[in-house]
């Protein structure tokens, strides 16, 4: 009889443990609310980098960009904040949520450039192709002559293409620094900034 009582006791304990485990596994997970960090917000808005990423013929430009944390954060922002500007070292005149115009050499343009130029100062190359404070659509580009860039002391000279070429195109024909053609038929745009593909890497300094 003693063994029988012991057996019943063990069976009771086993069934109790089984019920407790089952009830624990079936209980809903507890979600703990965490207030958003100060200065952070959630958004579905895509940055200019998000828009550029699917362009397969810009993979070299994007690869160089991703090796420069400061410029990458600049193009990957949907808004340009005072703190992000302070980290990049860009001057106060270029902050307060100002837009960008970016000229992106294609893969072919980089490969041609590197035939005669060493693969150095990549981040300075990118600065040469970024115009701060301006989001210039194709029509606006038709009405400017000189653009300042992020590279100190470096400007981009802008002019219309020859009339013979303009007649063949349905979009404005814009040339940079002499003969670099801007693809105005396929602008890449975010709400803040705009980018264009170009067929040459712009020289560090252009002399007319």
* Assigned token pair, 52: 């550029």
pLDDT confidence bin for 39, thresholds 50/70/90: very low
* CA distance linking residue 64 with residue 72, whole number of Å: 9
pLDDT confidence bin for 125, thresholds 50/70/90: confident
- The lowest-confidence range among 26-40, 82-96, 129-143, 181-195 is 26-40
CA atoms within 13 A on the CB side of 124: 10
pLDDT at 103: 97
Share of the chain above pLDDT 90, in %: 41
8 A C-beta contact, residue 150 and residue 143: no
- Identify how many contiguous H helices and E strands the chain contains and give both numbers: 9, 8
Class for domain 48-198, per CATH? Answer: mainly beta
pLDDT at 7: 53
* CA distance linking residue 163 with residue 5, whole number of Å: 106
Q: What is the DSSP letter of 201?
A: P
What are the sequence ranges of the domains in the chain?
48-198
pLDDT at 61: 95
* Assigned token pair, 201: 């890497």
If DSSP states are collapsed to H, E and C, what string results for 28-73? Answer: CCCCCCCCCCCCCCCCCCCCHHHHHCCCHHHHHHHHHHHCCHHHHH
Output the average pLDDT for the chain: 75
pLDDT confidence bin for 124, thresholds 50/70/90: confident
pLDDT confidence bin for 65, thresholds 50/70/90: very high
pLDDT at 114: 87
Residue 101 or 38, more confident: 101
pTM over 0.95: no
Provide the phi-psi class of 127: left if phi over 0, else alpha when psi is between -120 and 50, else beta: alpha
CA atoms within 13 A on the CB side of 119: 8
Q: Which residues pair with 194 in a beta bridge?
A: 101, 189
């Amino acid at each position: 009889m003693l063994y029988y009582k012991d057996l019943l006791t063990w069976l009771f304990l086993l069934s109790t443990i089984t019920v407790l485990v089952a009830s624990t596994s079936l209980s809903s997970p507890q979600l703990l609310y965490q207030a958003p960090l100060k200065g952070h917000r959630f958004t579905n808005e895509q940055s200019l980098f998000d828009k550029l990423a699917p362009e397969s013929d810009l993979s070299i430009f994007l690869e160089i960009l991703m090796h420069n944390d400061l410029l990458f954060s600049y193009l990957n922002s949907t808004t340009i904040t005072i703190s992000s500007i302070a980290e990049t070292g860009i001057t106060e005149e270029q902050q307060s949520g100002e837009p960008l115009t970016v000229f992106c050499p294609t893969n072919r343009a980089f490969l041609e450039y590197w035939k005669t130029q060493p693969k150095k100062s990549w981040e300075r190359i990118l600065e040469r192709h970024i115009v701060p404070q301006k989001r210039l659509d194709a029509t606006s580009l038709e009405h400017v002559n000189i653009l300042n860039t992020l590279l100190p002391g470096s400007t981009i000279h802008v002019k219309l293409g020859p009339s013979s070429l303009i007649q063949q195109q349905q979009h404005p024909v814009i040339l940079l620094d002499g003969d670099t053609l801007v693809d105005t038929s396929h602008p890449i745009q975010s709400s803040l900034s705009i980018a264009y593909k170009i067929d040459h890497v712009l020289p560090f300094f252009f002399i007319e």
